[in-house]
Amino acid sequence: MVILDISMPKISGIEATREIKVTSPHIKVLILTMHNKIEYLQHAMSVGAEGYVLKQDAGTELFAAIDSIRSDGIYISPSFSLQLRDEFIKGCRGEITPGIDPLTIRQREVVTLIAEGKTAKEIASILFISTRTVEKHRSQIMGKLKLESTADIVKYAINKKYITLDI
C-alpha cells in the first residue's frame, strides 16, 4: 500500500496514483490530504485510489482506512458523508453540479490520453478498445462538455487536474 498526498512537490498525488495503477495495478493507494472538496475526492477515486482520508480525520480514521483497504475495501473520510449524499440525490434527479465532473471513468481516461498527445490509435491500444470506440468517446465527451477542439479537451484536462504541466 502507498499513502500519498495530493499536494506533492514534483507530481500530484492524483497523477502519481494514475501512474501507479497503470504500471502496478495491484498496489493499493490511500490518499491522505487536506483537500476537502469533493472534486479532489472524485479525481482520486476516478484514477484508482482505494481510499481518501482528510488529514483532519487522520487521528481517528487512518488505521480504519488502512484496514479497510487491506481487506479489499475502499475508505472515504466520514467528513464527506453529507456531500456524497447530496451528490447522489442530485445524480438520481439527473442534475449536474457545477464543478463535479460529468464524465465516466472511461471518458476521463480518454480525455487524459488525448491531453497527453496520444493518437486515437495509441489510445485504442492502451485501453484495449477499437479506434472507432475512441472516436465515439471523443465525440460524446465533446458533446457533453460543449467542447469544439482538441485544444479545448486539453484545457479541460488541465483544469480538472487530469494532467499536470511541468513548467
Residue 55 lies in a domain: yes
Claim to verify: residue 6 and residue 82 sit in the same structural domain? yes
Claim to verify: residue 42 and residue 81 sit in the same structural domain? yes
Instruction: Give how many domains the chain has, as a whole number.
Output: 2
Claim to verify: residue 58 and residue 129 sit in the same structural domain? no
Sheet holding 51-54: strands in order across?
2-4, 29-33, 51-54, 75-76
Claim to verify: residue 42 and residue 111 sit in the same structural domain? no
Question: In whole numbers, what is the pLDDT of the chain averaged over residues?
Answer: 87
Range(s) of the domain holding residue 13: 2-92
**Domain boundary residue, one of 71, 92, 113:** 92
User: pLDDT tens across 96-148, in order?
Assistant: 555 566 787 788 889 999 998 999 999 999 888 999 999 999 999 999 889 99
Q: What is the pLDDT of residue 94?
A: 63
**Domain boundary residue, one of 92, 118, 146:** 92
Claim to verify: residue 63 and residue 128 sit in the same structural domain? no
Claim to verify: residue 15 and residue 76 sit in the same structural domain? yes
Residue 48 lies in a domain: yes
Residue 124 lies in a domain: yes
Claim to verify: residue 24 and residue 67 sit in the same structural domain? yes
Q: What is the pLDDT of residue 98?
A: 56
Q: What is the pLDDT of residue 163?
A: 81
Residue 54 lies in a domain: yes
Nearest to 36 by CA among 91, 103, 81: 81
Residue 12 lies in a domain: yes
Residue 97 lies in a domain: no
Residues forming a β-bridge with 53:
32
Claim to verify: residue 88 and residue 113 sit in the same structural domain? no
Q: Collect all residues with Cβ–Cβ distance below 8 Å to 90 and sequence separation of at least 6.
A: 96, 97
Q: What is the pLDDT of residue 50?
A: 96
Claim to verify: residue 124 and residue 42 sit in the same structural domain? no
Domain containing residue 80: CATH number: 3.40.50.2300
